[in-house]
Amino acid sequence: MRTLYAFVLKVEAVLAGTFLLLMVALIFTGGVARMLHHPLNWTIDLATCFFAWACFLCADIAWRKDALMRINLLPSRSTPRVRRALLHANYLLICAFLVYVIYAGAWLSWVSRARSFQGIPGVSYSWVTMSIVVGGALLLTTTVLKIRAALREDEPDGASAPLPD
């Protein structure tokens, strides 16, 4: 299971970087084409799709590395026990929100399956809205792993050690 998760993390990082680079390249190409009086309107539309996917993938990478912004005013002034309770409450709120995001994203993807993306025939808007579902699932997985790690830290010494035969 760990090797599968490690593979998913590598694919996620490669896709996030690729989408960001493609987004920049498409916007630059569209700008140059417009300057040459041959506008390519589809470049901005495709860059928007890549941006949606890159946002969620990069958010998961940042969340996993604890690189997101946070306000530590209340936890820094409280006891370790209150700090742990706040951490667990925060994780539960995040999980509840992400479950809702996954549900709402799946519903949005389903109802927008017949809608074409920016008028491009044959390309469903669901390709963009699925970024909500996939990103939410990745973020939820990361949050559950953070909860698991926090619960292991809460255990008294030796409680997580295997029992002798």
* Total domains present in the chain: 1
Q: Over its length of 165 residues, how does the chain's per-residue pLDDT go in tens digits?
A: 889 989 999 999 999 999 999 999 999 999 999 999 999 888 888 898 899 999 999 999 999 999 988 888 888 888 989 999 999 999 999 999 999 999 999 999 999 887 777 766 677 788 889 999 999 999 999 999 999 999 998 876 645 444 343
Q: Has residue 162 been placed in a domain?
A: no
Q: Give which of 105, 111, 10 is closest to 52, Cα–Cα.
A: 105
Q: What does the pLDDT read at residue 31?
A: 94
Q: Has residue 66 been placed in a domain?
A: yes
Burial of 160 (0-12, 13-18, 19+ CB in 10 A): exposed
* Distance set, CA 11 to CA 1, 21, 126 (Å): 15, 15, 21
**Residue range(s) defining the domain that contains residue 36:** 2-154
Q: Has residue 147 been placed in a domain?
A: yes
CB-based contacts of 45, cutoff 8 Å, min separation 6: 117, 118, 120
Q: Is the dihedral of CA 61, 15, 144, 1 positive or negative?
A: negative
Q: What does the pLDDT read at residue 157?
A: 62
* Distance set, CA 91 to CA 116, 152, 154 (Å): 37, 15, 15
Q: Has residue 143 been placed in a domain?
A: yes
Q: Has residue 104 been placed in a domain?
A: yes
Q: What does the pLDDT read at residue 35?
A: 95
